[in-house]
Structure 1
Amino acid sequence: MNQTPPEYTTMPTTAAPVTVTFSWYDYTLFSTMLAISVMIGIYFGCFGSKQSTASEYLMGGKKMHIFPIAMSLVASHISGITLLGVPADVYKYGGAYWLCIPALIIVGIVSNLVYLPVLFEAQITSVYEYLEKRFDQRARTFSSLLFALSQVLFLPIVIYIPALAFAAATGFNLHLITPIICGICIFYTTIGGLKAVVWTDTLQFTVTLGAVTVVLALGVRATGGFANVWSKSLEGKRLDFIDFDPDVTRSDNFWAPVIGLSIVWISMTNTSQSCVQKLLSVATLRDAKLVIIYYVMGMSLVKTASVITGLIIYARYSDCDPFASHRITRKDQLLPYYVLDVAGSVPGLSGLFIAGVFSAGLSTLSAHLNCMSGTIYEDFVSKRVPRTITEQSKSKILKLIVVVCGVVCTALVFVFEHLGGILQLSISFAGATGGPLLGMFTLGTLSRRANCKGVFYGGVIGLIIVLSLALPVKYLQSYGIIRDLEKPTSIEGCSFNFTTVHQRYETQTPRSDESLVIFKISFYYYSLIGFFFTTVSGLIISYCTERDEKSVDEALLSPIIRQRVSNHKNGGVTEYDTVENALRLTIHNSEDKNDSKA
């Protein structure tokens, strides 16, 4: 979350940061996971069809099974950001993130009813091809560019967090381990295509789930049972999130996570190539809808586990805050510190935990690299290569794109490690791109009147407005002008001696009043803001300009608004569902006849 920690003046006398140390058990577990991932890539890349066609490489030949696709979707969206970030966020700011569960239910319902039927019937390789069919090439290019830029900013962070954890666990240099691990991921993604991505995601998600389960079980045991965890969380105000205060500057009330995450994940599920590419790789629309249902269930379980882990960590350290005592200094150190504390003597647990965190990062990286190659090829490269190019040549180009994108993202890791607050910047950028993208797709699926000018300029307006909000916020936060308040912590139960001046959250004097109120809006709402201004401005521009010359293909509209016309051959009589539709179609047919006579 985009909160800034309170100021502490702490002089510890005996406390020292704790580091993880790998044993041979840990190295064995971690190496086995990587070795199996590589073998999966070799199998799909060198045997069978060898991913020799673009359809096979990107869509798995549209013969993928429901369960591995659903698990791959979950795995590709459960990165180290979730495993390390959510528990630390809950510890610091409370369990409001748990409201992502009703948000996920909304995502499943809206996706299956509104967007998925349209995208599946369109039979597209790049999801942004839909915008070209519905509007024009300019809308497609703009949306593809937004997606590519968001991935370039997102993927280095995805791999940086687990690489940092692994470097701390083993003592290896971060600059050495990052290219090695990324190289392995690029290798099996390049030669194996979507099938390798899906099956390695399934393997890696299993490892991740095992790590999370072990951490939960040991944590509950170490803190005296779940009843004690719940009691301490209530006392510490970590569960005070059923608050219907409409204040949009708060991130810990009911509305911010439910509304904000609903928009974010609806956009991610239906406008991100990384999701849609997998949804379209199954055989039927019914299968795709089942994938969505299983995806929502899997995401709910992992998110719940991460939130509960945060509550368990708070129960463990409710009387001795590791931040105030300077045992740790960064939020991403909290979960590794906790794992060592409760189970440092268990052989192999450190390896399982780091392997789980790294598995989450690798699965996300591989999935997004694969879909980026499809988007870049379909929307940019394919228009510049001969139409006579063979399928095998297409597959080689796709693999080359994966390598280039992987190398770029790996190189950016070494840039991002020197940029403070880059995680907050990436979340804000995700809102800046996700909101306008969802607005553009919504204009296409739910409005017949929306035209090419409306959807393009609406997207541009939505993007500019969100960036105009997010970038100044980043600047104000860097100078401490905007500071969100943390939940209370204590150091009264610490068993070591140190001198500390701890500014509790009740006594903090916020400086945020020095800034404009608009810049205090919760980052949860960035996608909603982008979506709102894109759709509203897009509709206004569409109504103020001429209609597009081409008629709207009913198959490109959502089923909930498609015109229901049934032709019953009963004496040549056509039945219409409404008088309005009858008049509109009659006029349209008359115009077509006149044009043909002319």
Structure 2
Amino acid sequence: MESSTTTTLIQTVSRLSKVSFSWYDYILFSVMLVLSALIGIYFGCFGSKQSSANEYLMGGKTMRVIPIAISLVASHTSGITLLALPADIYRYGAAYWLGGISMAILCVVTIYVYLPVFYNLQIISTYEYLERRFDKKTRSFASFLYAVSVFLYLPIVVYIPALAFSAASGIDVHLIAPAVCAVCIFYTTIGGLKAVVWTDTLQFTVTVGAIITVFILGVKSAGGFLQVWNKAVEGQRLDIFDFDWDPTKRDSFWAIVIGLTVHWMGHTSVNQSCVQKFLAVSTFKKSSLSVAYYCFGMTVVKTFSVLTGFIMFAKYSDCDPFTTKQVTRNDQLLPYYVMDVARNIPGLSGLFIAGVFSAGLSTLSATLNCLAGTIYEDFISKFMHKRITQKTASNILKIIVVITGVACTALVFVIEHMGGLLKLAIGLGGVTNGPLLGLFTLGMIFPRANAKGAFYGAIFGLILISALVFPNKYFETQGLIKYPPKPLSTERCDFLNETTIFENVLNIRNSSTHFQPPAIFRISFYYYTLIGALTTIIFGFIISCMTNKNDPPVEKSLISPVSYFLVSKDTKSNGIIEYNTVEKALEVVSINSERDNK
């Protein structure tokens, strides 16, 4: 009996793993890459040829709203979103769906608080704002944090779809990653922002095709959407309204609506990649529309990911592949599901893998383009001659894209040997996004904030959030912090006997421990950006109030319109200081005279 069960299990796993590309799968995937390269050639070799820095990074401010919005959605829909989110819904429930509320809040805050400042200044690098508002030291610190987070994030974005492609095609991941990344680097390098936007549009179309196809197929195989919904209700996947204020709760209502909102603010409202595209249109109204369309598009994409998680649960609610060890990692579940239900449909595996890879390439190209702008504007341009031509600047940007792209591709080979790096990168995202969001918020909302407060406030924020995140990651690797999944079952696994099921349950129970780390290290990861931002703002404001006695007035253009009422005293408009009282003007003149005499 035991031998028969083992044989059946081996046959089942073997049947699901032997899904390989056919010739039409390869053609579909190759067409996507070729078209992406041709788009880059078109924008790089015809028309203006991306011969200026403004053309290369901002598209000459002639981009249309819809392509910009699609590009934004595409660049924020990576393989991590497509693979990890449905698996997370499958295991922990659909609390993430409350992110629709977060996205609506994000849209309003971005349009009315942050976007007016960036649009009026018309700057290529968002970190240029920090220099104008505070000083060069604060700007350099912020740019450095951004660059580090990118170099840790992009290799993961590349590695996950490359791994999925390798599993489907049998081609070594070491060959796939460099080859496909080379195409992405090529069209990003020669085509600039216009190539990025239009290739994102193409790739997003492929991604959407994959998502919709898998969704329709899944609903059909599960017996209809009503059956999927009922299974989700029965399996507690829709128990999402947990109003407990306990910050250690992984998926509470407040963790999503508050924590995730602030997290997305760090990724959107002040993010170089997003702001760069928001400013690539000709009017503020169009810029606001691109924000609204982007938020709506992201809500739709994430809704489909949530529903895909429901569909997978409907399929495996009585035979969990995690418990049976057919799947060991979250990012393996969706490919496993597609291979299971669609192995006999020609071309679907190619469409799915092309969709996942397209999402990864969209993120890679968009981030390389904006990282090049940040590195050039915040570091290299300081050492360049003031009379440098636009063509030379454009060529330097292209070289930066090549170098950073090659470096990120090379780091892919490090990722596969560091299994814990994915969790570390997610944690580091909170570590860097918190202080960065805090810096921009401090500058735009609080006119009394000064350079000392901003810089040291960001340092405090970085230290505090690091002291929370890194111990948390350590405890996770030691198995001391675990989030129990929603109910899972193996009662209808035909290839498992009772002994095997008992052993799996016993192993799960034995792996638990009575020791729990302090609650402060078990705070939900959704709050990381919020904690870092609040720490930066609070310490920065306190230090500013203690040290801003003789600070010059702040330019009104550097303050968000929502805080104009706080600019009750002296302001600076178009470089001209406007004092509220004659006494204040005389005081400043007297101080300046004393400094000159010394």
TM interval, shorter chain, is over 0.9
After superposing the two structures, state which structure 1 stretch, 17-26 or 212-221, moved more: 17-26
Q: Is the 8 A contact 1:251 1:257 kept in 2?
A: no
Report whether the alignment pairs 1:225 with 2:224. Answer: yes
Match of 2:409 in 1: 410
- Structure having the larger proportion of residues in helix: 2
User: Take 1:513 and 1:263, find their aligned partners in 2: how far apart are those partners?
Assistant: 31
SS at match of 1:560: helix
- Equivalent of residue 516 in structure 2, options 514, 517, 540: 514
Deviations 1:214-260 (A, max 9, x none): 11101111101111111111111111111101111111221111111
Matches within 5 A, 1:337-352: 337-352=336-351
User: Take 2:292 and 2:375, find their aligned partners in 1: how far apart are those partners?
Assistant: 29
Match of 1:502 in 2: 504
Report whether the alignment pairs 1:244 with 2:238. Answer: no
Match of 1:578 in 2: none
Match of 1:279 in 2: 278
User: Take 1:404 and 1:92, find their aligned partners in 2: how far apart are those partners?
Assistant: 39
User: Take 2:592 and 2:176, find their aligned partners in 1: how far apart are those partners?
Assistant: 68
After superposing the two structures, state which structure 1 stretch, 76-85 or 501-510, moved more: 501-510
Q: Is the 8 A contact 1:90 1:311 kept in 2?
A: yes
Deviations 1:104-131 (A, max 9, x none): 1110010011000001101111000001
User: Take 1:513 and 1:102, find their aligned partners in 2: how far apart are those partners?
Assistant: 36
Aligned residues: 573
After superposing the two structures, state which structure 1 stretch, 329-338 or 309-318, moved more: 329-338
TM-fit CA distance, 1:589: 4.7
After superposing the two structures, state which structure 1 stretch, 183-192 or 253-262, moved more: 253-262
Report whether the alignment pairs 1:385 with 2:384. Answer: yes
Match of 1:14 in 2: 8
- Equivalent of residue 550 in structure 1, options 549, 552, 576: 552
TM-fit CA distance, 1:548: 5.7
After superposing the two structures, state which structure 1 stretch, 383-392 or 163-172, moved more: 383-392
TM-fit CA distance, 1:47: 0.5
Matches within 5 A, 1:289-368: 289-368=288-367
User: Take 1:177 and 1:506, find their aligned partners in 2: how far apart are those partners?
Assistant: 36
Report whether the alignment pairs 1:457 with 2:456. Answer: yes
Q: Is the 8 A contact 1:50 1:192 kept in 2?
A: yes
- In structure 2, relative to structure 1, the CA distance for the partners of 1:564 and 1:90 (3 Å cut) is closer
After superposing the two structures, state which structure 1 stretch, 494-503 or 459-468, moved more: 494-503
Match of 1:538 in 2: 540
User: Take 1:497 and 1:460, find their aligned partners in 2: how far apart are those partners?
Assistant: 54
TM-fit CA distance, 1:41: 0.3
After superposing the two structures, state which structure 1 stretch, 452-461 or 265-274, moved more: 265-274
Deviations 1:507-551 (A, max 9, x none): 688537431111111111110110110000001111111346332
- In structure 2, relative to structure 1, the CA distance for the partners of 1:163 and 1:565 (3 Å cut) is closer
Match of 1:132 in 2: 131
Q: Is the 8 A contact 1:451 1:547 kept in 2?
A: no
Matches within 5 A, 1:18-417: 18-19=16-17, 20-417=19-416
TM-fit CA distance, 1:165: 0.3
- In structure 2, relative to structure 1, the CA distance for the partners of 1:193 and 1:234 (3 Å cut) is same
After superposing the two structures, state which structure 1 stretch, 229-238 or 208-217, moved more: 229-238
User: Take 1:146 and 1:112, find their aligned partners in 2: how far apart are those partners?
Assistant: 25
Amino acid of the structure 2 residue aligned with 1:157: I
- In structure 2, relative to structure 1, the CA distance for the partners of 1:548 and 1:420 (3 Å cut) is farther
TM-fit CA distance, 1:417: 1.1
TM-fit CA distance, 1:584: 3.8
- In structure 2, relative to structure 1, the CA distance for the partners of 1:596 and 1:377 (3 Å cut) is closer
- In structure 2, relative to structure 1, the CA distance for the partners of 1:337 and 1:589 (3 Å cut) is same
Question: Structure 2: any 5+ residue segments left out of the alignment?
Answer: 569-577
Q: Is the 8 A contact 1:483 1:511 kept in 2?
A: no
Q: Is the 8 A contact 1:75 1:202 kept in 2?
A: yes
TM-fit CA distance, 1:270: 2.1
SS at match of 1:503: helix
- In structure 2, relative to structure 1, the CA distance for the partners of 1:79 and 1:512 (3 Å cut) is farther
- In structure 2, relative to structure 1, the CA distance for the partners of 1:259 and 1:564 (3 Å cut) is closer
Q: Is the 8 A contact 1:279 1:288 kept in 2?
A: yes
User: Take 1:156 and 1:459, find their aligned partners in 2: how far apart are those partners?
Assistant: 27
Q: Is the 8 A contact 1:70 1:292 kept in 2?
A: yes
Q: Is the 8 A contact 1:162 1:358 kept in 2?
A: yes
SS at match of 1:496: coil
Match of 2:575 in 1: none
Match of 1:572 in 2: none
TM-fit CA distance, 1:12: 4.9
- TM-score, normalised on structure 2? 0.92
Identical amino acids, percent of aligned pairs:
56
User: Take 2:238 and 2:342, find their aligned partners in 1: how far apart are those partners?
Assistant: 26
User: Take 2:76 and 2:280, find their aligned partners in 1: how far apart are those partners?
Assistant: 18
Amino acid of the structure 1 residue aligned with 2:325: H
- In structure 2, relative to structure 1, the CA distance for the partners of 1:407 and 1:583 (3 Å cut) is closer
- In structure 2, relative to structure 1, the CA distance for the partners of 1:536 and 1:504 (3 Å cut) is farther
User: Take 2:130 and 2:357, find their aligned partners in 1: how far apart are those partners?
Assistant: 35
TM-fit CA distance, 1:329: 2.2
TM-fit CA distance, 1:377: 0.1
- Equivalent of residue 526 in structure 1, options 525, 528, 535: 528
SS at match of 2:564: coil
Amino acid of the structure 2 residue aligned with 1:375: T
User: Take 2:228 and 2:510, find their aligned partners in 1: how far apart are those partners?
Assistant: 27
Question: Structure 1: any 5+ residue segments left out of the alignment?
Answer: 1-10, 567-581
Deviations 1:333-386 (A, max 9, x none): 111111122221111111100000000000000000000000000000000111
User: Take 2:479 and 2:248, find their aligned partners in 1: how far apart are those partners?
Assistant: 16
Root-mean-square deviation (CA, aligned residues, Å) is 2.1
- In structure 2, relative to structure 1, the CA distance for the partners of 1:594 and 1:94 (3 Å cut) is same
Amino acid of the structure 1 residue aligned with 2:8: T
SS at match of 1:15: helix
Deviations 1:68-106 (A, max 9, x none): 000000000000000000011111111111111101111
User: Take 1:266 and 1:118, find their aligned partners in 2: how far apart are those partners?
Assistant: 15
SS at match of 1:271: coil
User: Take 1:547 and 1:136, find their aligned partners in 2: how far apart are those partners?
Assistant: 17
User: Take 2:325 and 2:429, find their aligned partners in 1: how far apart are those partners?
Assistant: 32
User: Take 1:192 and 1:12, find their aligned partners in 2: how far apart are those partners?
Assistant: 54
Amino acid of the structure 2 residue aligned with 1:291: S
Q: Is the 8 A contact 2:431 2:466 kept in 1?
A: yes
- TM-score, normalised on structure 1? 0.92
Q: Is the 8 A contact 1:105 1:296 kept in 2?
A: yes
- In structure 2, relative to structure 1, the CA distance for the partners of 1:508 and 1:102 (3 Å cut) is farther
SS at match of 1:321: coil
User: Take 2:525 and 2:515, find their aligned partners in 1: how far apart are those partners?
Assistant: 18
Match of 1:447 in 2: 446
Amino acid of the structure 2 residue aligned with 1:429: L
TM-fit CA distance, 1:565: 10
